[in-house]
Structure 1
Amino acid sequence: MRRKELIQRARELSKPFRVEKGEAFRLKHVDPGDTLEFSAEDKPRAKEALALGVELLADFQDLLYAQDRWALLLIFQAMDAAGKDGTIKHVMSGVNPQGCQVSSFKAPSSVDLDHDFLWRSNQALPERGRIGIFNRSYYEETLVVRVHPELLERQSLPSQLKGKDIWQHRFQDIRHYERYLARNGIAPLKFFLHVSKKEQKKRFLERLETPEKNWKFSAADIRERAHWDDYMEAYEDTIRHTATPEAPWYVVPADNKWFTRIVVAAAIIDALDQLDLAYPVVSEEARQRLQDAHQALLAEN
């Protein structure tokens, strides 16, 4: 398949899951088991498509690095066992590690809590020419902190700023922050890997029943599962209020990992194609120096 055809196919594949105007978005409209026209028998074809996508991503990343004008920020959010780590691993497998920065955000430290909620993420933003990956992000502040309001009490905020409007204020702050990033050459792309409660249970049981996967399981996973409905409400509200054309969300069905990966790869390819990347044009003066160097090398004994 030719390059232009691959890019067009990537756009068509990712578009159904793109949310850039959140007012009409409802999480119930996205089926976690959706695979579009692919069936279970199409998995080999999907893996082939992913391999082609990974190859194309490597080409785009080379352009991104050489041009050194844009950075791409990929934000991954999901419930436990939705497949964030595996998706990042497979989709970015062909990317040069020197051009990629991965940051995983765990529970905030005491130092983090003494700063604003965007502070630690801001420290990890990618440099120009690079792809930054946030495995969880500042969105935890409108998700886990909202589901567990006791966490808000640990944050050193004035009491008058912890009122009922705090979530709307944070949505507004995030929209402004992401617009700021986009206006400074950092293109945000956000993914919610939407796994069903049934599939999460299946994956948890697999972790418990397979010794080699026991290390992946945490008792905290079960505690968080008990808040499933609260999390779904928080995700829907967050996506509705922070999806914008310059920082879109992709709500990706995650019950089938092979499908999740090709959609994520397709969305990244589409985003990179929109940046109009190109190799730098060499000046006439620099070109002459290259020719001189070329002649000098040919003249060596």
Structure 2
Amino acid sequence: MKIEKYKVSDGKDFSLDDFATNDKGGYKNKDEALSDMNKNIEKIESEQDKLYAQNQKSVLLIIQAMDAAGKDGLIKHVMTGLNPQGTQVFSFKQPSAEELDHDFLWRYNKSLPERGRIGIFNRSYYEDVLVVKVHNLIEVNQYPYNKVNDKFWYNRYEHIKNYEKYLYDNGIIPVKIFLNVSKDEQKERFMSRLNDSSKNWKFSIADVKERAYWNEYQKAYQDAISATASEIAPWYIIPADKKWFARLLVSEIFLHILKGMNLEYPQISKEESARLADAKKALEEEK
């Protein structure tokens, strides 16, 4: 599969309208895609083992989407089988009073993956240029210098872009995923949650209220992706109307990223190799 068609590394001419939400990448059915995804997952497990053993770099998977786009299911299905020791998942909700007393990146910085690990952000610092922008949630004590205007948002995009360069330069590889779901499909998923008592818990009245801001959110995503896409931290625009294809595509992208890191198991010295041979011999000679 050609993942380049979903990749945005230069936001200059980016338009969200150019990316279909119902693309299936040439796959005829779910079973065909599931088979390929399972193969990818096996390879991802192998690459993660090397990442953990090498203990030099880490990967930060950032997942952004509208409500009901499939973030939780994506994490569950694509990351299944990963070694829990080397995986960290964080979901960011409304900031606490303590978090609001710090800069907007503070709470995310505390949750970055350690070397050798895979970090997953279920929503991220991009919320501070999405929901915060749509609902104008900036408070005076968070930005005491000037009023919130276009320059403020430009600076915030630049802060994010520079932050991601900082992460990359320190061996934390950002992988940014936007699950691009259509408004009609979101409605179908909301209705499914309402019509199935076992899924009622997934539904929130706030979801419907946020849906009223659909166009504003699409504009906010357009602006954020356009302003922060770069060669070292590109965005991947994932068609999310078919959950099975979205999961397959993310598995392809994630595997591609890991393989591109040229991960290897650590090599031991000749002296250490000799000591291991002595240990093996001692074990074999035990009575």
Task: Give me the TM-score of the superposition, normalised by structure 1.
Answer: 0.94
Query: How many angstroms does 1:94 deviate by?
Result: 1.5
Distance 1:15 1:67 in 2: 28
Q: Which residue of 1 aligns with 2:229?
A: 243
Segment of structure 1 superposing worse, 187-196 or 154-163 = 154-163
Distance 2:80 2:26 in 1: 25
Q: Which residue of 2 aligns with 1:205?
A: 191
Distance 2:142 2:236 in 1: 32
Q: Which residue of 2 aligns with 1:175?
A: 161
Secondary structure of 1:165's partner? helix
Alignment RMSD: 1.0
Residues 225 and 95 (structure 1), Cα distance of their counterparts in 2 relative to 1, 3 Å cut = same
Distance 1:159 1:66 in 2: 46
Q: Which residue of 1 aligns with 2:255?
A: 269
- The match for 1:94 among 59, 74, 81 is 81
State the percentage of identical aligned residues. Answer: 51
**What pairs with 1:288-299 in structure 2 (closer than 5 Å)?**
288-299=274-285
After superposition, give the CA deviation of every residue in 1:12-54 in whole Å (9 maximum; x if it has no partner): 2x22111111111100011100112113xx2111000010011
Q: Which residue of 2 aligns with 1:118?
A: 105
**What pairs with 1:1-301 in structure 2 (closer than 5 Å)?**
9=1, 12=2, 14-39=3-28, 42-149=29-136, 151-153=137-139, 156-160=142-146, 162-301=148-287
Question: Between Structure 1 and Structure 2, how many residues are aligned?
Answer: 287
Distance 2:259 2:178 in 1: 21
Distance 2:170 2:216 in 1: 35
Distance 2:101 2:92 in 1: 16
Distance 1:154 1:212 in 2: 42
After superposition, give the CA deviation of every residue in 1:183-225 in whole Å (9 maximum; x if it has no partner): 1100000000000000000000000010000000000000100
Q: Is the 8 A contact 1:171 1:238 kept in 2?
A: yes
* Structure 1 residue ranges (4+ consecutive) displaced by more than 4 angstroms after TM superposition: none
Query: How many angstroms does 1:154 deviate by?
Result: 6.5
Distance 2:247 2:279 in 1: 45
Secondary structure of 2:33's partner? helix
Query: How many angstroms does 1:159 deviate by?
Result: 4.3
Secondary structure of 2:51's partner? helix
Segment of structure 1 superposing worse, 20-29 or 160-169 = 160-169
Task: Give me the TM-score of the superposition, normalised by structure 2.
Answer: 0.98
Distance 2:52 2:212 in 1: 44
Unpaired stretches in structure 2, ≥5 consecutive residues? none
Q: Is the 8 A contact 1:113 1:154 kept in 2?
A: no
Unpaired stretches in structure 1, ≥5 consecutive residues? 1-8
Query: How many angstroms does 1:170 deviate by?
Result: 0.7
Letter of the aligned partner of 1:67 in structure 2?
Q
